Amino acid sequence: MNQVTATIVKPLPDHLFRVHGLNAEMRWEAMSGEGYHTPIDRFFVRNHTSTPIIDVTTWRLRVHGAGVRRPREFGYEQLRAMPSRTFDVAIECAGNGRRFYGTQQNDAAPGTQWGLGGIGVARWRGVPLKVLLKEVGLLPGAVDVLPTGLDAPFEDYGHVRRPLPIGKAMDDVLVAYEMNGEPLPPDHGFPVRLVVPGWVGIASIKWLGDIEVSSTTLFTPWNTVFYPDVTTQPVKSAFELPWNARLPLMGPHILRGRSWSGQGRIVRVEVSLDGGLTWRQAEHHGQHLARAWLPWHISWAPRHTGPHVLMARATDETGATQPPVTPRHPYGYAFDAVVRHPIEVVNG
């Protein structure tokens, strides 16, 4: 069955996505057998309204504000001709995992009930934001950088926009025009989006049209009403298996998964195949990058049929590890507790 909403352009086949209203979550089994990057055809989409179709021949990126010396506009080809960088970076929605506040902690949080599929890792190419800001001449009094999207205004709040402190803007932020070697697809921000490594997805504004550099602290609904006080993403892990997967008793099986953190490299992943009684260290494979994710695997020979609970617990280089329970969060962000993944071992 193909589920299609009018607001997302790419196909959302049921075996790759779960659709939540305007948003589409990746099913984790869709990463099974995939390489390091999330292919575009299964990368989650989080839209406040709908994907705009932007004419790149008339599109301009305006960079201006009290914090710059020489305000100016950049065309698409001008941007593409500037010095570029390529980053392998995750984008993850702040609400990723929100569903588990309800299903695991009996304390449901309002909002889109994401499982763990509100994340993807892509290879992004573009112009470092600091290169653009140097081009317009940053003034010493610059405080915040406010990127605004060209998608339709969200309710009465206006265009999607969220200020970024100048320190982060000048550090590792990318004005990206390529995803996995292709021009950005419409749903992921064509012609140009921000990519803000390690931070909540809302920082990575899509369909950029305007960047204001201010000399005072800025406030928009996206750092006051929504997403206040959230910056980096906590540690999480997922198995590349369907929810309620059926595995044959005849093993051993190689169970695969990935772990990630917005704060740094993952240094350890432990897996429990008995609902948390005993833990074994998983083996890493593939790349091992900060601000992306770490693929891992573990071998398992189940001893009996019936329901089982799989759990994975990662630790990052800051020492942050996944707790058994995440403290209540009013908006349902920052879920980092170990997720209990149910499966069924069947005869065969």
Q: Select from 21-29, 90-98, 188-196, 244-252 the region that touches Mo ion (CB under 5 A).
A: 90-98
CB of 144 to Mo ion, least distance (A): 20
Binding mask 182-201 for Mo ion (x = CB under 5 A): -------------------x
Binding mask 259-288 for ligand MTE (x = CB under 6 A): ------------------------------
Return the residue of 38, 113, 180, 204 that touches ligand MTE, per CB under 6 A.
204
Closest CB to Mo ion among residues 253, 291:
291
Q: Which does 91 bind (CB under 5 to 8 A by kind): Mo ion, ligand MTE, none?
A: ligand MTE
| 48 touches ligand MTE by CB under 6 A | yes
Which residue in 253, 235, 243, 230 sits closest to 303, CA to CA? 253
Alpha helices by DSSP H, 151-247: 166-169, 221-224
Which residue in 155, 156, 20, 164 sits closest to 95, CA to CA? 20
| 190 touches ligand MTE by CB under 6 A | no
Closest CB to ligand MTE among residues 184, 271:
184
User: Are the C-beta atoms of residues 31 and 137 closer than 8 Å to each other?
Assistant: no
Tell me which residues in 145-184 interact with ligand MTE (CB under 6 A).
149, 151, 160
Using CB under 6 A as the binding criterion, the count of chain residues that bind ligand MTE stands at 18
Binding mask 8-47 for Mo ion (x = CB under 5 A): --------------------------------------x-
| 46 touches ligand MTE by CB under 6 A | yes
Binding mask 69-88 for ligand MTE (x = CB under 6 A): --------------------
CB of 67 to ligand MTE, least distance (A): 21
Q: Select from 46-54, 170-178, 231-239, 242-250 the region that touches ligand MTE (CB under 6 A).
A: 46-54
| 138 touches Mo ion by CB under 5 A | no
**Amino acid letter for position 146:** L
Q: In angstroms, rounded to a whole number, what is the distance separating the alpha carbons of residues 344 and 332?
A: 29
Return the residue of 27, 30, 38, 47 that touches ligand MTE, per CB under 6 A.
47
The CB-nearest residue to Mo ion is 93
List Cβ neighbours of 282 (8 Å cut-off, separation of 6 or more). Answer: 257, 269, 270, 271, 296, 297, 298, 312
CB of 201 to Mo ion, least distance (A): 4
* CA angle (181 as vertex; 177, 186 as ends), nearest 5: 50
Tell me which residues in 83-112 interact with ligand MTE (CB under 6 A).
91, 93
| 93 touches Mo ion by CB under 5 A | yes
Give the binding site for ligand MTE (CB under 6 A). 43-48, 91, 93, 149, 151, 160, 188, 201-202, 204-207
The residues that touch Mo ion, with contacts defined as CB under 5 A, are: 46, 93, 201-202
